[in-house]
């Protein structure tokens, strides 16, 4: 079973979804109309139920983050991704608040310095943005690159963390 809730944030509505193992999706407002199809890609046989109480901890931690009170999340995650993508996202998840790495640096830390495009693809497929801070990964030369929520949201998150 997948429980979900929708919460407001400074960057718009966010849909959070979790299984018994942990949080598995944060979906930006512009994708919420397609949320069931997005979740079913990774969890095709799960029943999806609205349950605000099941995600109180996750919602509260996000609110603390947006208010500047939280710099690290303490949330169990349930990633359903290929092994290299999981490795990349585990590295991204360790980038400290207020810091950033390039796609090249992430690929190197994942064990393949020539896999910066694959590192970018893993970030693009990140189902748990903000918590797994893919906004902290930049293109070479400090360029923003892309972001699933849009560049405006990426800029907002970086500015929130003090990255100009």
Residues in Cβ contact with 107 at an 8 Å cutoff, skipping those fewer than 6 apart: 88, 113, 114, 115, 116, 118, 119
pLDDT in tens, 7-51: 999 999 999 999 999 999 999 999 999 999 999 999 999 999 999
The pair of three-digit structure tokens given for residue 27, joined into one six-digit string: 């979906």
Number of domains in the chain: 2
Separation CA 147–CA 153 (nearest Å): 8
pLDDT at 4: 98
Q: Tell me, yes or no, whether 78 lies in a domain.
A: no
pLDDT at 146: 81
Catalytic-residue membership of 134: yes
pTM comes to: 0.93
- Which domain covers residue 98, as residue numbers? 83-160
**Residues 99, 147 share a domain:** yes
Active-site pick, 134, 137, 138, 153? 134
**Residues 110, 57 share a domain:** no
pLDDT in tens, 64-86: 999 999 999 999 999 988 888 99
* H/E element, 27: strand 23-28
């Amino acid at each position: 079973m997948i429980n979900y809730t929708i919460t407001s944030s400074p960057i718009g509505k966010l849909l959070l979804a979790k299984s018994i193992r942990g949080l598995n999706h944060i979906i930006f407002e512009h994708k919420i109309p397609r949320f069931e199809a997005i979740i079913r890609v990774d969890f095709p046989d799960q029943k999806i139920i609205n349950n605000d109480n099941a995600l109180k901890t996750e919602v509260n931690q996000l609110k603390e983050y947006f208010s500047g009170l939280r710099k690290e999340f303490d949330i169990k995650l349930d990633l359903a991704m290929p092994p290299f993508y999981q490795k990349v996202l585990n590295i991204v998840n360790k980038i400290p608040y207020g810091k950033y790495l390039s796609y090249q640096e992430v690929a190197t830390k994942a064990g393949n310095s020539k896999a910066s495009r694959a590192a970018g693809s893993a970030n693009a497929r990140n189902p748990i943005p903000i918590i797994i801070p893919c906004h902290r990964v930049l293109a070479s030369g400090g360029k923003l690159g892309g972001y699933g929520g849009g560049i405006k949201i990426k800029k907002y998150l970086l500015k929130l963390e003090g990255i100009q």
